[in-house]
């Protein structure tokens, strides 16, 4: 895959999340765990973007570890040449429809709260 196609695909994902009301940061060329961080209503999503490529096991483990350590919901966005865009939630192992992006933080709020309580204990008790 050329860098240009990968960059263009990342910009597409960036714009999709931004249009759905997320605060979006692109991690340009960092080769880190996530290509994009998208935040809405206090819920953070880390997105790994792949154009004509697969997520390898090491990348998947790193993304799931970021969820366990920091509560970042890992999403895998990919498209193979000539195929439609797919966004997959790696925690629930399900495909996310673009029309549900606006309400996605609500669907994950309890998971994130539970993760915070698990890491820090019940702050009210």
pLDDT digits (tens, 9 = 90+) for 59-99: 999 999 999 888 899 999 999 988 999 999 999 999 999 99
Say what the pLDDT of residue 1 is.
Answer: 45
Q: Across 1-125, where does the E strand assignment appear?
A: 23-26, 36-40, 43-51, 73-79, 86-89, 94-96
CA-closest candidate to residue 92, choices 71, 103, 108, 68: 108
Q: Which one-letter DSSP state was computed for residue 97?
A: P
What are 1-37's pLDDT values in tens digits? Answer: 467 788 899 999 999 999 999 999 998 665 679 999 9
Say what the pLDDT of residue 81 is.
Answer: 87
Q: Which one-letter DSSP state was computed for residue 99?
A: G
The ranges assigned to domains in the chain are 3-117
Mean pLDDT for the stretch of residues 35-63: 93
Q: Tokens 């669907």 appear where?
A: 107
Phi, psi for 124 (deg, rounded to 5): -95, -10
Say what the pLDDT of residue 65 is.
Answer: 94
Question: Rounded to whole angstroms, how far apart are CA atoms 15 and 22?
Answer: 10
* 3-117 CATH pick, 3.40.1350.10, 1.10.10.10, 1.10.3720.10, 1.10.540.10: 3.40.1350.10
Q: Residue 75: beta bridge partners? A: 47, 89
């Amino acid at each position: 895959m050329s860098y240009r196609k990968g960059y263009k695909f990342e910009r597409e994902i960036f714009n999709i999340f931004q249009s759905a009301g997320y605060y979006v940061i692109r991690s340009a060329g960092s080769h880190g765990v996530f290509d994009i961080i998208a935040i809405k209503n206090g819920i953070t999503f880390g997105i790994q973007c792949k154009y004509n490529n697969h997520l390898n096991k090491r990348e998947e483990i790193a993304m799931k570890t970021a969820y366990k350590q920091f509560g970042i919901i890992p999403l895998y966005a990919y498209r193979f040449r000539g195929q439609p865009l797919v966004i997959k939630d790696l925690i629930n192992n399900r495909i996310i429809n673009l029309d549900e992006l606006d309400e996605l933080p609500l669907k994950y709020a309890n998971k994130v709260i539970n993760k915070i309580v698990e890491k820090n204990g019940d702050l009210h008790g």
